[in-house]
Every structure is written in C-alpha cells, then in structure tokens.
C-alpha cells in the first residue's frame, strides 16, 4: 500500500552547538505534545543527530550532546508524548554534515577537487562558521548506517528523514584509490560527478535495505535528492525506489524564491508518488530564531502546496533548552486550523494537466538553479491559467494535449521518434529557439514535422517580431523587441507564417550604436520567425527565456496566440482574474476541485520577497471545461452553493469574493 503523508507536519530542526549549556533543561513532554496538538499538527519530525554531530538520545554508537540534561532521552520522550496524542513522529538524522565527525576523523573528510560548493550556510573551512562535508566512501558511511540501525532497534518512530545525502566532487585518498581501481579518471569532472552519484546511490540503497528489513512500514525520505535534472537517469526519477514519498524543501524567502516550489511540484507530480511541500515559519531560512513568517505568507505557501496535491510541512527549530516557541505555534496553528477544515477536498485528488513542458534543467545547472526557459514557461502558463506539468523525455506523452519545448531543449533519436508518434496520434507541439536542433546535422530533429530547416543564427540581436495576420489581433502592438539571439530558418511547403523578423539598422557595437540600448526598427523583412505547420508551431526566438528576463506583455500575448491555435478549448476558459491569480483544477472521484489563489509577494528588502497583505478580489468570473454537466457548484468548506450556467462544455460561475484562497467544488463534473 502506498504511503499517505499527513497533511499538517512540522519539521523540527535541532542543530545545537556544543558551546550552548543546559540543553533540554526546560523540556516538558506533556507541554510539548499539547503545544503541537493545539497547533493542529499531526506529524512532527524529531531529531536523533544534528549537523553539529551530537545525538539527543542515549546512543551507544554516536555522541550525546555534552550539555544535554543528565538522564534526559529527549528524542524518546518526544516520540512517546506525541504518540499519546495521536501525532506521528518520523526521525531525523544527518549524513554529509557532522561537525564532530569532521573534527575527530580527518580521514572521513571530503577533499574537494575544485572549489567547494558554496551556499549561505556551507563553508568547508575550519576558520569559517558553517557545515563541512564528509565522504561516503570512507568508514563514515558505516558509522551513519550503524546509527540508523540503532534508532530503528531502540525507538518506535514512524519513519526516517535522512538529510544532506550527496557526494560532491571528492578526491580524498579513498576516493582516489577507488576511482583508479575502477578505471575512472580523477581529473575528468564528468567522471568524478558520476562516481559521486554512484556512491550516493549506493549509500541510499544500503540505508533503504536496512530500514525496510528492520521496519517495513517506515516512511523513508532522503533529502537533497529532489533534483529537477535531465537526462532522467541522472536525476531523482532513477532513485524513486529508495523513497516512500518526496518532500520538496522550498523556503521561499532567500535561497529558493517563490518560483521554486510551483516549478518543482509540477515536475514531481509526474513521479506518481506522494508529495510534501516544506516551507518554514522563519522569515528567511533555517536558524532564523527570531524570524516569523507573516500569516498571509505561510497561508499561501501551505495552500499552494495543497492546491497542487502535496501535503504541508512547516519548518521550525527547537530552542536549545527544549521549549517550543509559543508565538511560532500560534502562527502555525492559525494556518493549520484552516488546512484541517479543507482536508476533505485534498484527499485522493489527481492533477489534470493539458500541457507538458520539457524542462531545460540539466546536470550542468547548479543545485536548485532554474533555467530561464523553465522560469519563463512557468510564468507565462501560470499567468494564462493553463494546467501544465514539467516533464522529461521518459514520461508518457499521451497524457498531454500539447507539449512545449522551450528555447534550449536537446533531443536524441529516441525522444524525437516518440514525439513523431505523439504527433501522429493527435498531439500538438510548440517549439522555440534552438530546441530540437541537432548540432551535428545542422538541422532540427523534427524539421519535416516543423516545416522548417535551420539556416544559422539570426543576424541581429536584439531584433524585432512583427506579428502577421494570424496573431496580430491578439497582440497589443504591431512589433515588439526580441532581446535574445534567435535563429534563421528556411520554411518548407504547407507552412503558415504567423510573424516576421523586423530588422534594426545595425547591431550595437563600439563602431556604431544608437541611443542608450539597442537600435530602432528599420523595416520588416521576409524572414519568418513564427511558423505553423499542422499541429506544430515553431518560434525562432527564445521567447520563454526572454519573458523570464524582461517579462514583456507582448511576448506573453504572442505565446498565448500560438497556444490558442494549438489548444483552442483549455481547461480554464474565460475569466476576469488578474495575472497574479493562480488556478489549479484537480479531480476527486467524479468531482472537479478548483483551487483559486491570489497572493502577491513584494520585494521589500535587499534579501527577500515579503508577503504580508491579502488583497481580496470581488465578483470573480470563471469558466471551467468539464467532462459533463455538474450536479452543483459550491464553495467549500463554506458549503455555499453558487448559481452557474452550462454552455459549450464549460460551466460558468461567479465567486463573490476571493480573499487569498478559495476552493470551488464542481460536483459530478469529472469523467
């Protein structure tokens, strides 16, 4: 039976320095459990070992925190108290970061081949505060596995959350020896990366076998493995067997931003595994003890996860003395009480995507870095209210009415063949920029299907897009600038040109320039930039990346005009929602569940986006394409029935007020 994560979780950090005294001295098991219960929490992740390397139970394998209250089994008492009030308790341990092990076992340390991976809280220098990496090819891996076995043998926890699972470019003595024995060139960064990947997966396999052998019912999650990377064999998809579910850690303030979660969740939906969206109660990131999310922000982050079919997890950090922060749990309780009211409409729902967007993320991207092609695709499609997922070439294309290959998607012979089959079965393609270009042949893999042949790079950048009759009526302006370098193509027979290139007087160089930026339009040319052949539209400019960088409204309108030609009756039809609003439609049994969100983060500081105020929308008109005429349309959990109309396969209704978040249930409207 597939594991079903709880809806209202807390991930309770407890990374506690050995320089801090009286650890756990204020802990009261009854108070701990009651605080969680009052905050509507039904799962809390408790700590076995932290990044400082200390354990919070009487371990025989590791080292208890030197200032833990004598006789206190902090983790054990947390588990026992939480279980008494029906709260689940997965157990946390850390892998790559263990300060005590790093200090006492130099032979376990990672030796970086180049510069260490940098982040705000990672230093790998003994002279800087921050975590330092350990190597999984040393005896350290045995040490971690022994700790996991001890936890499973001694405690009745409900799962394992295993953090910081990654090998990063290590050339320590053991790794050098192993690579040479395996015929791997340590000087080749690609071979080193693959060696580290195999070492990481070897550890995950070993840990999974131990866990399932000792306690088959345990949930298992390895953090730092939720990577959106192509090709799929080097990403998270190839590691599914080690997991019972995926948790998407996305603290949106500084490191991840508000774009990370909605992109990643749309990719991990395709894994057909339970999902958890993890945010935090902090203003910034972990360890922000005096920072508290604004209530509207925490609501949005939780409701957004639920609207995409994920559960909620809110990160917190226990004070060293062992007492939960009253203000933090009052905030968490305010949000989780609303989540609990709405849970009946989150259970057993399925996404209804119509568009599959190939992700441009590759192994060359930094961890969690999102390519502009992905950002632009997400922004355009979400603003246009489309139902979509990010995909790689391994998914079943028949799940989608339309596939988008934005700007820089590389194909191979097998994927190109699958795309041809997809077109023959009635699917549609929107391709842009250099996507699908076979560099060796100097032409597109799908040149015949696209109706164009590659003719080289466009001579001008920036240049202009001049809309033709097929799309001009849907674009505000006659021509718009295209900032990024495009390509030239030669059209074949049976192709309709939807837009042409507009030539500037010249490219801006030291020899000749005009004004402050790029050169004005001289004239429209007969060089086509947007073309349609049957169910394929090709845009010879990187408009998705352009939109990510500059967010020009005419670019979104051009893409919208192309989408309308390929997807004439989308799931979300006519509406009066602003671009800030997000609509997701999911199926629950025979009902359709429509989630409406309208929260507007603002950049109010140098560090982070802030979401504080909820600005209500009134008289929201919405039409949703349904499989059959609904029995009723109602607001939930308010149980308020709305008047509605049925016309041309769409149900039309008005939501009187959208104050941040609203669920609309279309009863018996699903297939």
Per-residue pLDDT band for 420 (boundaries 50, 70, 90) equals: very high
Residue with tokens 């030609």: 565
Q: Are strands 617-625 and 572-575 parallel, antiparallel or unpaired?
A: antiparallel
- Dihedral, CA of residue 197, residue 200, residue 201 and residue 202, to nearest 10: 120
- Distance CA(385)–CA(120), nearest Å, equals 35
According to the model, what pLDDT value does residue 606 have?
Answer: 77
Backbone angles phi, psi at 259, to 5 degrees: -90, -20
According to the model, what pLDDT value does residue 126 have?
Answer: 80
Q: What angle is formed at CA 660 by the lines to CA 656 and CA 665, rounded to 5 degrees?
A: 55
Per-residue pLDDT band for 466 (boundaries 50, 70, 90) equals: very high
Interval 264-301: pLDDT, tens:
999 999 999 999 999 999 998 999 999 999 999 999 99
> Which residues partner with 582 through β-bridges?
597
HEC-encoded secondary structure of 83-129: HHCCCECCEEEECCECHHHHHHCHHHECCECCCCCCECCECCCCCCC
Q: How large is the average pLDDT for residues 236-244? A: 96
According to the model, what pLDDT value does residue 363 have?
Answer: 63
- Which 3 state secondary structure label does DSSP give 237? helix
According to the model, what pLDDT value does residue 121 have?
Answer: 56
Per-residue pLDDT band for 256 (boundaries 50, 70, 90) equals: confident
According to the model, what pLDDT value does residue 517 have?
Answer: 93
All CATH 3.40.50.880 domain ranges of the chain, comma separated, are 353-566
Q: Residue 418 pLDDT > 70, yes or no?
A: yes
All CATH 3.20.20.80 domain ranges of the chain, comma separated, are 8-347
Sheet arrangement for strand 311-317:
219-222, 159-163, 91-94, 43-47, 8-13, 311-317, 275-280, 246-249
Interval 110-143: pLDDT, tens:
999 876 655 555 667 787 888 999 999 999 999 9
HEC-encoded secondary structure of 379-422: HHHHHCCCCEEEECCCCCHHHCCEEEECCCCCCCHHHHHHHHHH
According to the model, what pLDDT value does residue 276 have?
Answer: 98
- Distance CA(146)–CA(391), nearest Å, equals 38
Sheet arrangement for strand 632-636:
350-351, 582-588, 591-597, 661-667, 632-636, 640-641
Q: How large is the average pLDDT for residues 562-573? A: 97
According to the model, what pLDDT value does residue 118 have?
Answer: 52
Interval 68-87: pLDDT, tens:
999 999 999 999 999 999 99
Q: How large is the average pLDDT for residues 491-519? A: 94
Q: How large is the average pLDDT for residues 617-628? A: 97
For 8-347, which CATH superfamily applies?
Glycosidases (3.20.20.80)
According to the model, what pLDDT value does residue 130 have?
Answer: 85
Cα dihedral sign for 74, 76, 79, 84? Answer: negative
According to the model, what pLDDT value does residue 144 have?
Answer: 98
Q: How large is the average pLDDT for residues 379-390? A: 98
Asked if 428 contacts 397 with a C-beta cutoff of 8 angstroms, the reply is no
Q: Residue 195 pLDDT > 80, yes or no?
A: yes
How distant, in Å, are the alpha carbons of 292, 433, 599 from that of 613? Answer: 15, 39, 8
According to the model, what pLDDT value does residue 252 have?
Answer: 87
Q: How large is the average pLDDT for residues 40-49? A: 98
According to the model, what pLDDT value does residue 129 have?
Answer: 85
According to the model, what pLDDT value does residue 362 have?
Answer: 82
% pLDDT > 90, the chain: 91
Q: How large is the average pLDDT for residues 459-483? A: 95
Q: Which fold has domain 353-566?
A: Rossmann fold (3.40.50)
Asked if 661 contacts 597 with a C-beta cutoff of 8 angstroms, the reply is yes
- Distance CA(390)–CA(376), nearest Å, equals 12
Q: Are strands 591-597 and 632-636 parallel, antiparallel or unpaired?
A: unpaired
According to the model, what pLDDT value does residue 480 have?
Answer: 96
Per-residue pLDDT band for 365 (boundaries 50, 70, 90) equals: low
pTM value is 0.96
List the CATH code of the domain at 572-667. Answer: 2.60.40.1180
Per-residue pLDDT band for 364 (boundaries 50, 70, 90) equals: low
Per-residue pLDDT band for 568 (boundaries 50, 70, 90) equals: very high
Interval 636-666: pLDDT, tens:
999 999 999 999 999 999 999 999 999 999 9
Best CA proximity match to 449, nearest among 511, 515, 520, 536: 536
Per-residue pLDDT band for 464 (boundaries 50, 70, 90) equals: very high
Half-sphere exposure of 342 (CA within 13 A, CB side): 28
Interval 385-414: pLDDT, tens:
999 999 999 999 999 999 999 999 999 999
Q: Residue 366 pLDDT > 60, yes or no?
A: no
- Distance CA(11)–CA(527), nearest Å, equals 56
Q: Residue 450 pLDDT > 70, yes or no?
A: yes
């Amino acid at each position: 039976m597939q594991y079903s994560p709880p809806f209202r979780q807390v991930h309770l950090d407890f990374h506690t320095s050995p320089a801090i005294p009286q650890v756990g001295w204020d802990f009261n098991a009854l108070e701990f459990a009651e605080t969680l219960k009052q905050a509507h929490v039904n799962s809390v992740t408790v700590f076995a070992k932290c990044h400082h390397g200390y354990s919070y139970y009487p371990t025989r394998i590791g080292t208890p925190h030197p200032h833990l209250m004598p006789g206190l089994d902090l983790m054990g008492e947390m588990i026992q108290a939480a279980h008494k009030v029906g709260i689940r308790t997965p157990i946390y341990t850390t892998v790559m970061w263990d300060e005590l092990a790093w200090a006492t076992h130099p032979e376990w340390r990672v030796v970086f081949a180049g510069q260490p991976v940098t982040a705000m809280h990672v230093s790998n220098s003994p002279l800087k505060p921050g975590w330092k990496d350990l190597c999984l090819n040393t005896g350290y891996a045995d040490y971690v596995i022994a700790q996991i076995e001890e936890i499973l043998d001694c405690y009745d926890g409900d799962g394992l959350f295993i953090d910081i699972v990654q090998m990063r470019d290590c050339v320590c003595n053991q790794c050098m020896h192993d690579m040479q024995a395996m015929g791997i060139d340590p000087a080749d960064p690609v071979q080193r990366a693959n060696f580290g990947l195999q070492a990481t997966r070897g550890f995950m396999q070993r840990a999974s076998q131990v866990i399932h052998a000792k306690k088959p019912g345990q949930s298992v999650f390895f953090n730092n493995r939720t990577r959106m990377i192509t090709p799929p064999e080097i990403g998270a998809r190839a590691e599914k067997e080690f997991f019972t579910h995926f948790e998407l850690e996305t603290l949106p303030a500084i490191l991840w931003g508000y774009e990370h979660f909605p992109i990643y969740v749309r990719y991990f939906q395709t894994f057909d595994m339970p999902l958890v969206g993890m945010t935090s109660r902090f203003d910034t990131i972990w360890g922000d003890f005096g920072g508290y999310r604004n209530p509207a922000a925490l609501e949005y982050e939780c409701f957004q996860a639920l609207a995409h079919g994920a559960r909620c997890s809110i990160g917190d950090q226990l004070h060293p003395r062992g007492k939960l922060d009253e203000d933090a749990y009052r905030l968490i309780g305010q949000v989780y009480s609303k989540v609990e009211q709405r849970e009946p409409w989150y259970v057993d729902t399925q996404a209804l995507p119509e568009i599959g967007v190939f992700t441009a993320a590759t192994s060359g991207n930094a961890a969690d870095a999102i390519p502009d092609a992905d950002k632009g695709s997400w922004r355009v499609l979400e603003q246009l209210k489309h139902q979509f997922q990010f995909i790689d070439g391994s998914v079943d294309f028949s799940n989608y009415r339309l596939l988008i290959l934005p700007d820089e998607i590389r194909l191979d012979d097998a994927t190109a063949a699958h795309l041809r089959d997809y077109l023959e079965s009635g699917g549609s393609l929107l391709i842009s920029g250099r996507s699908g270009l076979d560099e060796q042949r100097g032409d597109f893999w799908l040149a015949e299907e696209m109706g164009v042949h590659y003719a080289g790079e466009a001579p001008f950048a920036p240049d202009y897009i001049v809309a033709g009759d097929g799309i001009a009526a849907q674009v505000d302006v006659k021509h718009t600038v295209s900032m990024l370098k495009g390509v030239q193509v030669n059209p074949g027979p049976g192709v309709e040109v939807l837009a042409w290139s507009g030539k500037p007087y010249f490219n801006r160089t030291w020899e000749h320039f005009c004004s402050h930026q790029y050169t004005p339009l001289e004239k429209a040319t007969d060089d086509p930039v947007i073309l349609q052949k049957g169910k394929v539209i090709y845009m010879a400019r990187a408009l998705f990346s352009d939109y990510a960088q500059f967010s020009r409204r005419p670019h979104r309108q051009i893409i919208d005009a192309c989408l309308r030609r390929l997807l004439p009756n989308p799931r979300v039809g006519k509406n009066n929602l602003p671009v800030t609003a997000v609509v997701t439609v999911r199926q629950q049994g025979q009902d359709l569940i429509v989630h409406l969100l309208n929260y507007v983060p603002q950049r109010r500081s140098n560090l982070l986006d802030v979401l504080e105020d909820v600005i209500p929308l009134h008289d929201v008109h919405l039409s949703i394409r349904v499989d059959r005429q609904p029995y009723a349309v109602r607001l939930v959990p308010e149980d308020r029935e709305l008047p509605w109309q049925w016309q041309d396969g769409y149900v039309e209704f008005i939501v009187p007020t959208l104050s941040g978040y609203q669920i609309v249930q279309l009863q018996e409207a699903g297939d």
